[in-house]
Chain A
Amino acid sequence: MSIVDADIAFVAPPKPTGRRVSRKAGDHSWRYIALGLIFPASVLLFWQIAAQQRWVSDVFLPLPSKTAWAFVTMVEKQDFSHDFLASIRIVGQAFFYGSVVGVLFGVAAGFSRTVERVFGPTLDGLRHIPGIAWLPLIVLWIGIGAPAKILVIAKSVFFPVFLNTLQGIRSIDRNYIELGNVLKLTRGQQIRKIVIPGAMPSILVGVRYGASLAWALVVVAEGLSGQEGLGFLIFRAQSLLLTDQLLVCMVVIGVVGFAIDRSVGILQRHLLRWKHGFQG
């Protein structure tokens, strides 16, 4: 038997699709979507009725329609996009720096017990001072501008990413490292081909958590210092009793947070498509 015709002897393989297992049937059917809309629609309806019937004062709860108009006004007259983008920029940069440094430190500590020993206790201590508690000090040092917020939020992203990366690396099956030795992979190849992909599920858990955290923190940070951003707007609206604008900010924050989480979820699903049955 020759090397080339060997495969004929085997049962012809069915064309593999290479797709991950499809999600539960009916996942994207109208029924499924409608089911998810029932509750928010009811809340909206109740809100409309409550405001219309003057069960609560307009100052506390403006009409949904008025709130929608407030959104249009803010976009057209008050340069809402400027504040919106300011927040996005801060979160984007903070998230980027925080997760990159987190992965780098995680890999270094995962590989070397010495590195872990040198930095571990310090980091473990710092971890318990919440990011926001750092803000006043940082603002004292470098002012109320964007860098202070980026620094503080990056710090908050760093820890979940760092800890999950470290844990992911430590929990890699030793057999895979052994395989790398047998195949004579260099240290760099071991890291790229075995360690990072093996730790990826864990890393992404940290990244997803860090992303949500970053978005939540930017609102707080902007509310505490500075003159722009969604966080600034929401607290200003409160002090001026512009409840409709306040609600607009809340909704936008919620929608963006939702979008961020879903995007990371999609990324997660793509990167972990090799994982049996993984659905994000």
Chain B
Amino acid sequence: MSRSETLSLRNIGKTYQIDGQDLCVLDEISLDIAGGSFIGIVGPSGCGKSTLLRLIVGLDSQYDGVISLGGETVVGTSLDRGIVFQDHRLLPWMTLEQNVGLALLNSTLGQSERKERVADLINLVGLRGFETVFPHQLSGGMAQRAAIARGLVTKPRVLLLDEPLGALDALTRVRLQDELLHIWEIERITMILVTHDVEEAVYLGDRVIVMHPAPGRIADDFSIDLPYPRDRASQEFTNIRQRVLIAMGAYDGSRRRAA
């Protein structure tokens, strides 16, 4: 199967109406994402990251510009494009197992293969033993991991991850980052990861996009050429992290104060 389809965004603009007022959330976003790459997107809260992912996954068609995958214009949702939502969005009336299995409802896999795949993914995110538990009995981080399992179970060509590791403790977080890398290296799927953690973006992404708010736009675009697995303590790593933070405006305030 070819994994080389480019995801291409051309002049994407998005405006919300709030109380009759136009709110421009995304402005002139253009981006070519090579098939099989791992993109980190960072930017302040409210700059339109989730909105951008909603457009790519096909949940909202009210926007300007063109989104295409492998040359085909994206229309509506597709099992080729998966998403892990910022809120875990597990269905409260289904057990963990049923929630993950829901994504396979229309897959061509047979019954036993489906079961196996669901079990594999639950295992992968470290939730073995919780298969028959309802979401309200899971912790926030466990629910997030379950949502990741559901996103991966269909083997999408493009997987969008909206702060999927936000509610995890540092140790589990690092562990799952490595798991995501591992899956990405095996499956060669395109991953787009929105995160507030610059280190996470630099650790995972072969490219890191920095967005600025009001209206949401691309401010910077870093290629991260460090080989995997990356050493977070290395000089190159901290250098790049520093540059990304500067691009985000992290030091503007202090510099102004110093002046």
Query: Could you list which residues of chain A lie within 8 angstroms of chain B, going by C-beta atoms?
Result: 1, 3-4, 6-7, 9-10, 12-13, 15-16, 18, 175-176, 178-179, 181-186, 189, 193-194, 197-198, 200, 273-276
- Nearest-neighbour CB distance to chain A for B139, whole angstroms, equals 11
- Which listed segment binds A: B29-37, B175-183, B244-252? B175-183
- Binary interface encoding of chain B residues 123-166 relative to chain A, with 1 for a CB under 8 A from any of its CBs, else 0: 11111111011111100000000000000001000000000000
Question: How far, in angstroms, from A183 to B103 measured CA to CA in the complex?
Answer: 5
Once the chains bind, are A176 and B89 in contact (CB under 8 Å)? Answer: yes
Once the chains bind, are B93 and A274 in contact (CB under 8 Å)? Answer: yes
Query: Could you list which residues of chain B lie within 8 angstroms of chain A, going by C-beta atoms?
Result: 57-59, 76-79, 82-83, 85, 87, 89, 91-94, 102-103, 105-106, 120, 123-130, 132-137, 154, 172, 175, 178-179, 182
Q: Name 6 interchain pairs, CB-CB below 8 A, sorted by A.
A: A16-B132, A182-B77, A193-B91, A197-B91, A198-B91, A274-B94
Once the chains bind, are B103 and A274 in contact (CB under 8 Å)? Answer: no
Once the chains bind, are B59 and A178 in contact (CB under 8 Å)? Answer: yes
Question: How far, in angstroms, from A197 to B126 measured CA to CA in the complex?
Answer: 28
- Contact of B120 (CB < 8 Å), options: A3, A16, A186, A194: A3
Once the chains bind, are A3 and B105 in contact (CB under 8 Å)? Answer: no
- B58: which A residues are within 8 A, CB to CB? 181
- B102: which A residues are within 8 A, CB to CB? 183, 185, 193
Once the chains bind, are B128 and A13 in contact (CB under 8 Å)? Answer: yes
Count chain A CB atoms within 10 A of each CB in B93, B127, B130, B133 and give the residue with the most. B93
Once the chains bind, are B93 and A7 in contact (CB under 8 Å)? Answer: no
Question: How far, in angstroms, from A179 to B93 measured CA to CA in the complex?
Answer: 14
- Contact of B130 (CB < 8 Å), options: A9, A13, A198, A273: A13
The 10 nearest A-B residue pairs measured at CB: A10-B126, A276-B136, A197-B93, A13-B129, A274-B134, A274-B93, A7-B126, A16-B133, A181-B77, A183-B103
- B93: which A residues are within 8 A, CB to CB? 197-198, 200, 274-275
Residue of B nearest to A6 (CB): B124
- B59: which A residues are within 8 A, CB to CB? 178, 181-182
- B82: which A residues are within 8 A, CB to CB? 182
Residue of B nearest to A8 (CB): B126
Residue of A nearest to B169 (CB): A11
Once the chains bind, are A7 and B130 in contact (CB under 8 Å)? Answer: no
Once the chains bind, are B123 and A7 in contact (CB under 8 Å)? Answer: yes
- B128: which A residues are within 8 A, CB to CB? 7, 13
- A200: which B residues are within 8 A, CB to CB? 93
- B129: which A residues are within 8 A, CB to CB? 12-13, 15-16
Contact status of A4 and B123, CB under 8 A, knowing A13-B130, A182-B59, A276-B136: yes
Once the chains bind, are B92 and A1 in contact (CB under 8 Å)? Answer: no
- Nearest-neighbour CB distance to chain B for A54, whole angstroms, equals 60
Once the chains bind, are B57 and A1 in contact (CB under 8 Å)? Answer: no
Once the chains bind, are B172 and A1 in contact (CB under 8 Å)? Answer: no
Once the chains bind, are B132 and A183 in contact (CB under 8 Å)? Answer: no
- A197: which B residues are within 8 A, CB to CB? 91, 93-94
- Nearest-neighbour CB distance to chain A for B38, whole angstroms, equals 17
Contact status of A176 and B124, CB under 8 A, knowing A10-B172, A182-B57, A275-B136: no
Contact status of A16 and B130, CB under 8 A, knowing A175-B89, A179-B85: yes
Contact status of A193 and B105, CB under 8 A, knowing A7-B126, A13-B128, A184-B79: yes
Once the chains bind, are B123 and A1 in contact (CB under 8 Å)? Answer: no
- A274: which B residues are within 8 A, CB to CB? 92-94, 134-136
Once the chains bind, are B126 and A184 in contact (CB under 8 Å)? Answer: no
Once the chains bind, are A186 and B124 in contact (CB under 8 Å)? Answer: no
- Nearest-neighbour CB distance to chain B for A279, whole angstroms, equals 14
- Contact of B137 (CB < 8 Å), options: A12, A16, A175: A16
Once the chains bind, are A273 and B124 in contact (CB under 8 Å)? Answer: no
- A6: which B residues are within 8 A, CB to CB? 123-126, 175, 179
Once the chains bind, are A176 and B91 in contact (CB under 8 Å)? Answer: yes
Residue of A nearest to B137 (CB): A16
- Contact of A182 (CB < 8 Å), options: B83, B132, B134: B83
Once the chains bind, are B172 and A179 in contact (CB under 8 Å)? Answer: no
Residue of B nearest to A16 (CB): B133
Residue of B nearest to A272 (CB): B93
Residue of B nearest to A14 (CB): B129
Question: How far, in angstroms, from A6 to B124 measured CA to CA in the complex?
Answer: 6
Question: How far, in angstroms, from A4 to B58 measured CA to CA in the complex?
Answer: 33
Once the chains bind, are B134 and A273 in contact (CB under 8 Å)? Answer: yes
Once the chains bind, are A1 and B179 in contact (CB under 8 Å)? Answer: yes
Once the chains bind, are A184 and B130 in contact (CB under 8 Å)? Answer: no
